[in-house]
Structure 1
C-alpha cells in the first residue's frame, strides 16, 4: 500500500506554528512587563530561552473546520457504531476453521448481499443499503480483496447520499487499501473531501483518478477547477504563517534590542523561496 493511502491524521503547518508560538509566549511573557529588559553578563542561553514542550495539542488545523451543516452530521461520525463496524480480526480468527467450500459459500452470500444493497440504493433506501453492504463485509472472506473493495466503495456511495462524508472517506480509503487502482473509490473520496472543503485532498484524488483513466473529462474539469482554489488557500496560509513567524521572531529578538524590522525578506521570483538580509 502506498504512503498516500494511509489514512493518518495530519497537523497543518499553521497549527505547528501556533504551537511553537504559544510555547514561546509562555516562556517569554515573564519578561513582557520589564521595560528595557537586558541580558545580564554570564546569563546562559538556556536561562534566556527556556521552553517547555506542550504535550497536548488541541488546536484544530483550519482545514478541519467545516461549515455548520457538515459539522452537525460529521461530529457523530468519529467512531464507527456497532451497527456498521467491521471487526477484521474476528473475521480472520473465524476463517481459520473454514474449509475452501465454506469460504466459497460465504463469498456467494456476500455477493447476494451486495446486490441487495445495490437494489436498496436504486430505490433510495440508503440506510438499508448501508446495512446490506455491512452484512456483506462481515461475511465476505478477507482473501477476496476485490469483492470487499467494491462493498466498501458502494457503502461509501450510500453514505454520501446520507451526507455522512467522513464515513464515506473512510470507506473509500479502505477500498483503496484493498485495490489501489480503484478509480471509482478515488472519485468518491475526492467528492466527499471537496464537500468538506478539503480541497487539497480532493485535488490529489482527482489527479490520481485521472492518471489511472485519462479519458475522464469531468475529472479533468474538476482538476482545473480546484487548482486555483488550492493555490489561493495555500497563499493565504503562507501569509498567515509568515505573520506568525514575524511575531515569533520579535519575541526572540526583543531581549537583544532587535525586531524583525531589522531584517528585510525578499522572495526569489524563480524558486519562490525567501532570502533574509540584515539592516541596521
Structure 2
C-alpha cells in the first residue's frame, strides 16, 4: 500500500469542484500575501526616503546655522576684510587733474555747481570721519571729493589735499602726505598751515634742509609764528652735526678704498696727510714716506 494519509484520502474523496475551489483560495491567499508584502516594502522604502530627505534638510539647516554662528563670531575677521578693502582703495588715491579739466569742458555751469556741492558734502563727511579717528575712510572720502571738485576752485582743492595729507600722516604714510602737502601748496602758495605740516613731516623723515626751508617760508607770511621761529634756530646745528657725521663716514669709506688701491704699491692712505686751510676751509694733500 502507498502511504496515503487520512487527510489526503478524505480530500481525494471530495468532489472535483470542491478541490478546485480549495486550490483557488490558496492561490488568492498567496497573491494577497504577495501584495501585502510589496506594499509593506514600498511603505518602508518611502519612509526611508522621507527619512533621508529629512536628514539632508537637518544637515543643511545645521550648516546654515553653523555658518551664521561663525559669521557672528568672526566680526573681527569681517572688520579686517573691510580694512583691507579700504586700504586697497586708499592707495588708489591718484587724482588726474588733466582728465578733470577735459571732463569739465563738456559740463554746463549747473553741472559744475552740482559737482562742487557734492564735493563739499564729501568734505564735511571726511571732516567728521577725521574727528572719529577713521583715518583710512577719511582718505577715501577726500579722494572722492577731489575727483568731483571743479578745477577752478583751487583753494577748495588745496584744502582737500591738505586734509588728506593730515589723514595720511596719522597712519604713517609720511611720504604720500608730503606729496599731498606739496600739491596743496602748488594750488595755494600762501597756505602757511600746510607749510608747517610739511615741515614737520620733513623733520620726521630726516629731511632737515627741506624742513628748514619750509619754516623760513612760513616766516615770510607769518613773522610771529612761534614754531617756525624756534625751528630756524634749532635746525641749523642739527644740520651741521649731521653733515659732519656724513663727512666722517664718507672719508672713512674713501680711506678704505684708497688702502685697497695703494696696497700693491706698499703704500696706504697714512702716507697722505690732509691739511685744512683755516681761511678757505679747503684741504691740501701732503705725501709722507713711512720710516
Q: What range is the shorter-chain TM-score in?
A: 0.5 to 0.7
1:68-79 matches, within 5 Å, as none
Alignment correspondent of 2:162: 153
> What number of residue pairs does the alignment pair up?
202
Alignment correspondent of 2:91: 81
1:188-227 matches, within 5 Å, as 188-227=197-236
Q: Which structure carries more relative contact order (alpha carbon 8 Å, separation 6+)? A: 1
Q: 1:119 aligns with which of 109, 122, 128?
A: 128
SS at match of 2:275: strand
Distance 1:269 1:115, change over 3 A: farther
Alignment correspondent of 1:94: 103
Matches of 1:234 and 1:276, distance apart in 2: 22
Residue 150 of structure 1 and its aligned partner are, at CA, apart by 1.1
Residue 256 of structure 1 and its aligned partner are, at CA, apart by 4.8
**Structure 1: gaps (5+ residues):** 1-76
1:143 aligned to 2:188?
no
Matches of 1:266 and 1:213, distance apart in 2: 45
**Larger radius of gyration, structure 1 or 2?**
2
Matches of 1:183 and 1:275, distance apart in 2: 46
Matches of 1:99 and 1:205, distance apart in 2: 40
**Structure 2: gaps (5+ residues):** 1-86
Could you report, residue by residue, the CA deviation over 1:186-217 in whole angstroms, capped at 9, with x for unpaired residues?
Answer: 21112122223333332332222223321111
Could you report, residue by residue, the CA deviation over 1:45-92 in whole angstroms, capped at 9, with x for unpaired residues?
Answer: xxxxxxxxxxxxxxxxxxxxxxxxxxxxxxxx9x9722x332334323
Stretch of structure 1 that moved more, 177-186 or 84-93: 84-93
Q: Which has the higher helix share?
A: 2
TM superposition score normalised by structure 1:
0.63
Matches of 2:281 and 2:238, distance apart in 1: 19
Q: 1:184 aligns with which of 182, 186, 193?
A: 193
SS at match of 1:127: helix
TM superposition score normalised by structure 2:
0.61
Residue 154 of structure 1 and its aligned partner are, at CA, apart by 1.0
Matches of 1:196 and 1:206, distance apart in 2: 15
Distance 1:276 1:211, change over 3 A: farther
Matches of 1:159 and 1:111, distance apart in 2: 20
